[in-house]
Chains A and B, each alone.
Chain A
């Protein structure tokens, strides 16, 4: 409920101050928008999450929805690029869980996320997986090699 205890304030000084706040706010909001617009052009999809969704889309049908996947990559997890690529891949592949291959030896399925062309089959074989399919742009699906 509005209170009536305080004396009303409606002097020229008050109106000037209040209108200054209104004008400055609109200018600040315009500035925020311009910064956002510039960032959107310069840093579109900065972590590659949207790109990962496109890259991994075709592989999703190959992988069971509740699988715990082993993760194989040529990007080191300890480095920013490797961490970002791993987290973007995890997001794109969810609800499947993705765990680095060395911590997930029991996995039936594995997914490869490579930054440059290489011998993908050999990379999988090194940790006991057979390449099932190369989906292009560095996305590979592997399955545990039968003994």
Chain B
């Protein structure tokens, strides 16, 4: 486990430097939240990028501890050199908004995180190799990849897992499996430690990123409340011990939405759009749903940039930078799908247009899908602390931002809605038993989008803030105090 944790340090450092290079200097006022955001974002992006490098080395039959560390060392040195050379622009951040009860929220967050870590440790103790999909798909493919030039192709073999429906997915993208295999290769053994360490890392990075980004764009109080609601979402936190790819995907969806939110409010800076693109590209490299998300996110940016500029030409620059950021991971995903994965799509997709239309026209299937979504939404938490109940309570006491402001942020839900619409389409047309398909995957779709939904929610409600005393009043009060002292 210790070696596995050490093996994550190079990609955390690399990702953090990349984030430092590309994010504008304005950062949340509270120091720990700035660090939380930068390190969390860096950890996820670094894991994704190094998984691409590892896969390319494996594909080129050049994967070894020396080659992987060599590439990463060069990238680290280059990033460090650029970071040192970069002219530090003046940080012009507004002073942070204070809330006098932040201490209580921090205390609750620390308790909630400790309980989450104990929960995670119980789950890992009971299932060290993860839940069903972990040992039958993600981790077994990692072992094939880590086996070297003579076995890595088993991870993409059509015969893998006995061609069993629900276990054999040779066409699934490889971000998670390649990340685990990279750690195993560097650590020198294929113990259970690496998948659980990466699962914990991605969960904490998702929570840290959500918290840091909300603090960046709103206030620390709102960020802590978002963290608390996420920790109360049992459906989300219990996924950490499963070692599935859904939490990593939720990380990349959140990172894309969060960075786009910042970009839209700050004249679409090229570097932030490139980071958003990188996150969206890595979503495509994580799961097939991520590919749909990437396409929808790019389409939404085209639309927003066009609306802002009033002409299609105005959309070119933002899309150009986002595409540039997405390119590395998107190209690796395309290369994987075209040249490495076995031909033929997922077994559950309909074989003809007519078959799809017939299934879409079946009203019973619609009812079954909607019912499953509602049931899984209900199962996100216990009824007396259900995350929806907590959000409703906060909306009631805090109130929403002004209509115009809310309207300017609601579009951030479009990539998430687009992804869910694609998921609904897959369910409606699946050739597998619909009940089985929904039971084995529907709850995890909500997990994928939940952090991004929480992020947008906390942009839409007013943060709890303690009014700051007017400077004049302070000066007058200070003068009075001094007079009394004398």
Contacts and interface: CB of A to CB of B under 8 A. Distances in A.
Contacts of A24: 232, 384-385, 390
Interface string A27-46: 11111110111011001111
A23 B97 CA distance: 23
B402 interface: yes
Interface string B77-102: 00000000000000001101101110
B125 interface: yes
A68 B93 CA distance: 60
Nearest to B222: A2
A65 B149 CA distance: 11
Interface in B145-162: 146-148, 150-151, 154, 157, 159-162
B162 A26 contact: no
Interface stretch (B40-48, B134-142, B294-302, B450-458): B134-142
A59 interface: no
12 contacts: A4-B94, A9-B463, A10-B466, A15-B101, A17-B396, A28-B231, A29-B115, A37-B122, A46-B127, A49-B135, A86-B162, A98-B162
Given A1-B216, A8-B465, A16-B397, A97 B29 contact: no
Interface string A47-60: 10110010000000
A23 B398 CA distance: 17
Interface residues of B, number: 87
Contact of B135 (A31, A33, A47): A47
A44 B216 CA distance: 42
A71 B396 CA distance: 60
Interface stretch (A87-95, A115-123, A126-134): A87-95
B94 A26 contact: no
B464 A10 contact: yes
Nearest to A87: B136
Given A9-B462, A14-B397, A22-B104, A29 B162 contact: no
A33 B118 contact: yes
A37 B123 CA distance: 8
Given A18-B105, A23-B108, A87 B161 contact: yes
Nearest to B100: A10
Interface string B189-225: 0101000000000000000000000001111010001
B382 interface: yes
B151 A65 contact: yes
A52 B229 CA distance: 38
Nearest to B146: A95
Contacts of A1: 26, 93-94, 216-217
A36 B238 contact: yes
B462 A36 contact: no
A32 B162 CA distance: 36
B393 A20 contact: yes
A137 interface: no
Contacts of A65: 147, 150-151
Contact of A36 (B119, B140, B385, B465): B119
B161 to A, nearest CB: 6
B119 A33 contact: yes
B129 A26 contact: no
A29 B112 contact: yes
A63 interface: no
A17 B384 CA distance: 14
B128 interface: yes
B123 A40 contact: yes
Interface of A is mostly: helix
A28 B160 CA distance: 40
Given A29-B111, A32-B234, A65-B147, 4 more contacts: A1-B26, A6-B462, A87-B164, A97-B154
B378 interface: no
A13 interface: yes
A100 B168 CA distance: 13
Contact of B129 (A43, A50, A96): A50
A105 to B, nearest CB: 13
A100 B463 CA distance: 58
A31 B211 CA distance: 23
- Most A Cβ at <10 Å: residue of B129, B160, B190, B401: B129
Given A26-B115, A46-B127, A90-B161, A33 B122 contact: yes
A18 B225 contact: yes
Contacts of A33: 115-116, 118-119, 122
Contacts of B381: 28
Contact of B394 (A21, A31, A86, A98): A21
B85 to A, nearest CB: 26
Contacts of B4: none
B167 A18 contact: no
A62 interface: no
- Most B Cβ at <10 Å: residue of A23, A36, A49, A99: A36
A31 to B, nearest CB: 6
B135 A77 contact: no
B399 interface: yes
A66 interface: yes
Nearest to A100: B162
- Most A Cβ at <10 Å: residue of B130, B232, B398, B401: B232
B399 A9 contact: yes
B95 to A, nearest CB: 8
Interface string A65-108: 11010010000010000010011101100111111100110000
